[in-house]
Amino acid sequence: MSRAGAPQAPKLDAGGLRVLIIAASWHEKVMDGLLGGALRAARDAGIDSPTVLRVPGSFELPVAAARLAPDYDAVVALGVVIRGGTPHFDYVCQAATLGLTEVSVRTGVPIGFGVLTCDDESQALDRAGLPAAGEFAGSKEDKGFEATSAALQTALLL
């Protein structure tokens, strides 16, 4: 599961870091995959029990991060936004992206960006880190793992 140009995820020793995973609740199957990948990345890096907080939607990710980031060494934000027939998609994507960037830069706490912004569910499933099952051939990418690895790498650098 890798994409052209993406760096190989390094082996990390992040045991002892305080890690918060904030996960939106829309698009349950894709979110199960993203959260599974994030927990796998944390475990591989020596973090057995990161805090997991569920929020309603991707729009709520920034406010949760703003309130809680100062208590953690690294935060991971997970969500899935799928384009519909109205401009709502653009507003939710923009709010999540700009909001999380603002919180990360203001607090100095790295936030792994694991928010998928997709045209349809099939694009999202391709990036969700899910194994093959029945008709489903399995995801090509694992964005929950990638976002967590990036946040932990950055926290260790800082």
Query: Was 26 annotated as part of a binding site?
Result: yes
Site string for ligand DLZ, 68-97 (x = CB under 6 A): -----------xxxx-x---x---x-----
Give the shortest CB-18-to-ligand DLZ separation in angstroms: 25
Please indicate whether residue 27 is annotated as part of the active site.
no
Residue 56 touches ligand DLZ, criterion: CB under 6 A: yes
CA distance 141 to 125: 9
CA distance 1 to 21: 22
Tell me whether residue 23 or residue 155 sits nearer to ligand DLZ (CB atom): 23
Nearest alpha-carbon partner for 18 in 122, 152, 116: 152
Residue 23 touches ligand DLZ, criterion: CB under 6 A: no
Euclidean distance between the first and final Cα of the chain, in Å?
28
Is the CB of residue 28 less than 8 Å from the CB of residue 77? no
Residues that bind ligand DLZ (CB under 6 A): 24, 26, 56-60, 79-82, 84, 88, 92
- Residues that are catalytic: 88
